[in-house]
Structure 1
Amino acid sequence: MAIQVILNSAGSKLCVPGFFMARQPVLDRRQEALAFELVFYPVDSQAEAAGSDHLTAAVISHFAEMDMLKVIGELRGFVNIDEQVLMSEVFQHIPRTKFVFCLAGTVTATEAVLQRLGELAAQGFVFGVDEAMADAESLQKLIPLAEVIRFDLHKRTREELVQLTSQSHFANKKLLIDNVDTLAQFDACLALGFDYFQGFHFARPTIVPNRQLAPSQLAIIDIIALITSDADSVEIEERIKRDVSLGLNLLRLVNTAAVGTHRIDSLRQALMVLGRKQLASWLQVMLYAQAEENAPSVKPLLMLATARGKLLELIAQRHRPGNRGIADAAFTVGIMSLMDALFGLPMVEILKQIAVVEEVSDALLVHQGYYGDLLALIEAIERRDALALLPMLGKFHLDSGDLFLLQAEAYEWSNNVARAMHQ
C-alpha cells in the first residue's frame, strides 16, 4: 500500500491520505492520563493485517513532518510496530523519550531482532510486548528488553490474569491491560496490580441515584443559565466574581495559547471580547475541571470532551464556512456529549439544567439532525469503524487526509486546554 504525502494548499502541513487515526488515552492507577495510544488503520476496512502494518510503518516514517508531537502534547505516545519498522531507520527522527513502541504479536525473537532491540534500548527507546504473542519462546526472550507488558481483557479470564500477572518474569515490568470497558473492570484490574489501563471505561456513564453535583459545578450551571436567559452583563460578571477561584480559572483558560493572541485581563473584557455564546462554551469546558474532590477520571474525560468539541467545531467551520453559530453549536454538542459520564446523570436530566437549542438537544439525545451526524462521525473515529466513517465523511465533503489535519489541530488545542486547567 503506497502512502502519498502531499502539502496542503497553505504549504504548512502535510496531508497523508489512505488511513484513519484514532487516539485513546492510557491511564495510570489514579485514572490520570499518562499517554495516548495512536492507532493507524486503513481507509479500506477490508485491508489485510499486513497492509495495516505496512501503513503504520509509512506513517511512522513521517512522524516529524506530520507534527505527531502536537497530537500527544506533553504525554507519551504508544504505537504498535512490526519487525519491518523495528529494523528500519525511522528511529533516527523520533524523540527517544516520547514514545513507547509496542511489538506486534507476529515479531519473532531472531538474533537480528534481539540485537536491534538491545541497541535501541541502550539509546533510550522504550518497548512493550504483548503477553499473548504467537511464539511463546520469543516472548521469553523479548521480555528482558521490554518495559511494558500488554494484556487484553477481552482475551483473558480473571483467573488467567491472576495466574499470568503473578509470574516472576513480569516482575519489575509495567503491566498494561487493554479493553477496560467498565469501572468495575478497572477496579478488578487495579486489584490485580496492573499499572496502566486502556479503554473508554472513564467515558461510560454510570448513573448514580440522587447524585449531588459539586458546588462549583452548580455555580457554573447557574452562570450558564444567566447567559442563556439574556441576563444583564453586569449581573453575569458579579455572579462570576462571587467565586474567586472560578473567575481566576476562567481568565487563565481563555488566555491560553489555545484561545488566541488577545490578552484578556478582566471578566468584563472576557464578556466583550468572547461574546456570550463563547463564554458559555468555556464555562461548559470548566465543568469537567470542577468535579467533586478526589473524583476519578476527570482529566481524561476533559481531554476527550475538548477534543470532541474542537473537532466538531472545525468540521462545521469547514463544511459551513462563515457560519459562526453552527460552529459554536457543534462545539457545544461535542463538549456536552460526555456530561452524562461526568455527572452520573441521564442526558435528559442534564438538559433540564443546561438549556440548549432543539437541534443540539436532538443530537445529544437521539443523534438526529446535522449535529447528530457530526456526533456519530466522531464516535465512529473513536471506535475505529472505517466502514462507517467513509460515508459520514462524504456528507461533510471530507476525505481521510482532511480529517487527519483537523484531528491534529483539535488534539493540539485540547492538549493546551488540559494543561491550562491543571497547572
Structure 2
Amino acid sequence: MKNAMVGRQPILDKNENLFAYELLFRSPDDNRITDGEKATAEVIINSLESIGLSNLTQNKPAFINFTSKMIKNKIFDILSSESIYIEILETVEVDKKIIEICKELKSEGFKIVLDDFEFEDSLIELIKMADIIKIDFLNSTKKVRKATLNLIKSKYNQNVKFLAEKIEDYSQFQEAKEFNYDYYQGFYFTKPDIVSGKKVEPFRLSYVNILEELNKENPNFREIEKNIKQDLSMSYSLLRLVNSAAYGYDINSIRQGIVILGVDKLKKWSLLYSFKSINSSKPDILLKTSLIRAYFAESLKKHLNIDEDLFILGMFSLIDAYLDRNLEEILSQISMKEEFKEALISKEGKLGDVLKIIDIYEKSNWKSLKEFSLKPEILFNDYLKAIEKAEEIFEIT
C-alpha cells in the first residue's frame, strides 16, 4: 500500500475552464485498480492522507470512483461533501441498499455522478438523483448518445448535467458542444484543436518584474531568466527573436538568449512586449499543464543522466496547442538545438524518453515505466513537486 499513487485527469466546463479533477487510483506495478474492495479503499484513504487532497486538486472538486461495496461500507464518511463528487461505477449493481445510501449521500450534500452511463430501467431511481451523468464517447454511437440525452432530460431528470468523457478527437468535441454538454473530459484536451484561435498570452506580472530588474544598477539575470521561463509566450518570443536574421544563433536555453541580447536589447524587447500584451488574460489549464511539464522535465535530468536544460523541452511540448499550428513549422522559426526539435517532433532518443515519461504521468499509466527501469514512486514525488511549483506561479497572478 505504501507505493499507491494517485493520478488526476482534468474536467473542463463549457468555457473550457478547469472545473474539477477525477482522481485515478492505481498501483505502480499494475495499471489497473488493485484487487479487493478493502484494499482499494485503503489506497484512497492513504493517498489522500499522505499526498493531501488540496495538493492534488488545488481546491477544485474531486471526482472519486466508488464500487458497490465501498458505497455500502460508507467509505464516503471520511470525505467532505464540499469537495468530493461520488462517482458510481457502471459495475455497481443497483439494489434497495444502494438507493437508500445514495439518498443519504444527497441529504449530506454530496454530488452523485453516474460513470460510463448506459440506460437501463434498473438505473431510473439513480438517474432521478444524479447531479452529473457521464457519457462515454469512445464506446457508444452518436445515435445512442443523442437518444440517451433526450430520454433522460424529457422523462427522468431535466436538471441533471451531462459530462462528455473520453473525448479523443475534434469531431467528438464538436458533437459535445453541439448537444450542449456541461462538462468535458478526455485526452483530446492537450491537443492543438482545443485552443483554435487563441493567442499565446503572457502573465502580466512577468514582464513587469523583468523591466524592474533590468532597470536596476546590477540586474539579477537569474531572476530575469526565472520570470521568462515561467511564461510560455515570453519564452517563445525570446527564442524567436534570437533566431531571427539579426542574430541567427542556435541556442538551447533562455539564459543563453538573455546573454546574447544583453541589457539594452532586453529592455526594448520587454517594453515592446508589455505594450503588445496589455490585454492579456489569465492562463488556462493548458498553460498550467505546460508549466507542470517543464518542471517535471527538469527533475528528470538526474534520473536519465541528461546534462541539458530540460525545462524548455517540457514547456515547448505544448507550443502547437497554444499557437494552433503545425509543430514543425513553429520549431523552424525559433532558436533551439536540433536535438530538442527532433525530440519534440519524433519523441525518440533520450530526450524523447523525457516526453514519453511526462505522457505516462499525465495518463497515470505508470506500468509503462518498466520500459525505462525507473521506480514510479520516486518520480511520482517529483511530479507532485512540479504540480506545486506550477500552482505557485498561478497564485501570484
- Given the two structures, how large is their TM-score scaled by the length of structure 2? 0.77
Letter aligned with residue 101 of structure 1: I
Instruction: Give the equivalent residue in structure 1 for 2:328.
Output: 348
- With a CA cutoff of 8 Å and minimum separation of 6, indicate the structure with the bigger relative contact order: 1
Instruction: Give the equivalent residue in structure 1 for 2:190.
Output: 203
Q: Does 1:152 align with 2:136?
A: yes
Q: 1:212 to 1:130 in 2, by over 3 A?
A: closer
Instruction: Give the equivalent residue in structure 2 for 1:276.
Output: none
Contact 2:366 2:376 in 1 (8 A): no
Letter aligned with residue 42 of structure 2: A
Listed as ranges, the gaps of 5+ residues in structure 2 are 203-231, 243-253
Q: 1:241 to 1:390 in 2, by over 3 A?
A: same
Letter aligned with residue 35 of structure 2: G
Equivalent in 167, 186, 200 of residue 180 of structure 1: 167
Instruction: Give the equivalent residue in structure 2 for 1:83.
Output: 68
Give the aligned CA root-mean-square deviation in angstroms: 3.3
Q: 1:219 to 1:406 in 2, by over 3 A?
A: closer
1:110-134 superposed Cα distances (whole Å, 9 cap, x missing partner):
333222222222222222113636x
> What displacement does 1:53 show?
5.7
Instruction: Give the equivalent residue in structure 1 for 2:44.
Output: 60
Equivalent in 190, 193, 209 of residue 177 of structure 2: 190
> What displacement does 1:376 show?
0.9
Deviates more, 1:49-58 or 1:106-115: 49-58
SS at match of 1:26: strand
- Count the aligned residue pairs: 349
SS at match of 1:23: strand
* TM alignment of 1:17-416, pairs within 5 A: 17=3, 19-45=4-30, 51=35, 56-62=40-46, 63-88=48-73, 90-130=75-115, 132=117, 136-167=120-151, 168-206=155-193, 221-224=236-239, 225-226=241-242, 228-229=256-257, 230-244=260-274, 299-317=284-302, 326=308, 329-392=309-372, 394=373, 398-416=374-392
Letter aligned with residue 58 of structure 1: E
Percentage identity across aligned positions? 23
Letter aligned with residue 156 of structure 2: H
Contact 1:202 1:341 in 2 (8 A): no
Letter aligned with residue 205 of structure 1: P
SS at match of 1:337: helix
Deviates more, 1:31-40 or 1:346-355: 346-355
Letter aligned with residue 342 of structure 1: Y
Q: 1:248 to 1:317 in 2, by over 3 A?
A: farther
Listed as ranges, the gaps of 5+ residues in structure 1 are 6-16, 250-288, 292-297
Q: 1:26 to 1:81 in 2, by over 3 A?
A: same
Letter aligned with residue 377 of structure 2: G
Give me the whole-angstrom Cα distance separating, in 1, the residues matched to 2:190 and 2:164. 17
Contact 2:5 2:27 in 1 (8 A): yes
Contact 1:207 1:345 in 2 (8 A): no
SS at match of 2:117: coil
Give me the whole-angstrom Cα distance separating, in 2, the residues matched to 1:245 and 1:24. 36
Give me the whole-angstrom Cα distance separating, in 1, the residues matched to 2:100 and 2:198. 57
- Given the two structures, how large is their TM-score scaled by the length of structure 1? 0.72
Q: 1:207 to 1:109 in 2, by over 3 A?
A: closer
